[in-house]
């Protein structure tokens, strides 16, 4: 059972799918209740609300996989698998994930193997690894823009040519959503002031 928007669906189906898997796409989190016998539940549109968590907890005898980049499992306090499915990340061959349940780890690895993905298990920290790095790059780009060092287009071009990144920082921000980047930076900034969002990024994310 998978809850996703069209963009994330396209990313997930980017690689060849094992014909043994039977996918059911749903449009609302409440639809999970109607398919309680599914082997795995993927909530790629996860929102950190008590109602959402309680609903998914009712499925916890199965594998529950949530797209939760900023909020950790320690805060959610449920036996889920947490993955980085920010737009642009899900089509990669390796999916970053955290878990507090060994049985669900094995199940999640099997699920993603059907999509020709491998899971890289990392510490249960906000932003995992890649999203945290990208968020910082985007934040620094906004500081540079605010200081009138260059334009968005020139900064994007410089990053792509200089580092070989597929996107520049502002292109990444558009794909991921500056609101998501801002939310992660705020979470990271609670323990480390160097993650403080650039004022211009904050302005765009909260307008």
> Which residue, 184, 178, 169, 173, is CA-closest to 202?
178
Provide the CATH number for the domain around residue 146.
Answer: 1.10.1040.50
Q: Where are the beta strands (DSSP E) in the chain?
A: 2-3, 25-26, 40-43, 63-67, 81-83, 94-99, 118-121
Q: Are residues 150 and 78 in the same domain?
A: no
- Pick from 121, 151, 186: which residue ends a domain? 121
- What percentage of the chain carries pLDDT values higher than 90? 79
Range of the domain at 107: 2-121
Q: Are residues 115 and 18 in the same domain?
A: yes
Least confident of 14-28, 118-132, 142-156: 14-28
Q: Are residues 11 and 102 in the same domain?
A: yes
Q: Are residues 90 and 65 in the same domain?
A: yes
Residue 16 has pLDDT above 70, yes or no: no
Rounded to an integer, the average pLDDT of 68-85 is: 95
* pLDDT the model gives residue 196: 95
Residue 134 has which token pair?
């990208």
The pLDDT mean for the chain works out to 92
Number of domains in the chain: 2
In this prediction the pTM is 0.92
């Amino acid at each position: 059972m998978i809850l996703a928007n069209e963009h994330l669906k396209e990313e997930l189906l980017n690689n060849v799918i094992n014909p043994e898997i039977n996918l059911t796409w749903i449009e609302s989190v409440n639809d999970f209740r109607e398919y309680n016998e599914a082997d795995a539940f993927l909530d790629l549109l996860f929102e950190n609300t008590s109602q959402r968590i309680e609903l998914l907890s009712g499925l916890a005898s199965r594998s529950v996989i949530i797209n939760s980049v900023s909020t950790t499992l320690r805060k959610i306090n449920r036996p889920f698998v947490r993955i980085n499915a920010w737009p642009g990340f899900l089509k990669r061959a390796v999916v970053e994930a955290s878990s507090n349940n060994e049985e669900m780890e094995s199940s999640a690895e099997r699920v993603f193997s059907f999509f020709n993905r491998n899971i890289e298990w990392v510490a249960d920290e906000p932003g995992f690894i890649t999203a945290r790095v990208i968020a910082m790059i985007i934040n620094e780009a906004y500081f540079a823009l605010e200081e009138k060092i260059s334009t968005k287009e020139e900064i994007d071009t410089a990053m792509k040519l200089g580092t070989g990144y597929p996107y520049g920082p502002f292109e990444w921000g558009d794909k991921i959503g500056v609101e998501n980047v801002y939310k992660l930076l705020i979470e990271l900034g609670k323990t480390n002031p160097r993650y403080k969002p650039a004022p211009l990024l904050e302005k765009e994310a909260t307008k």
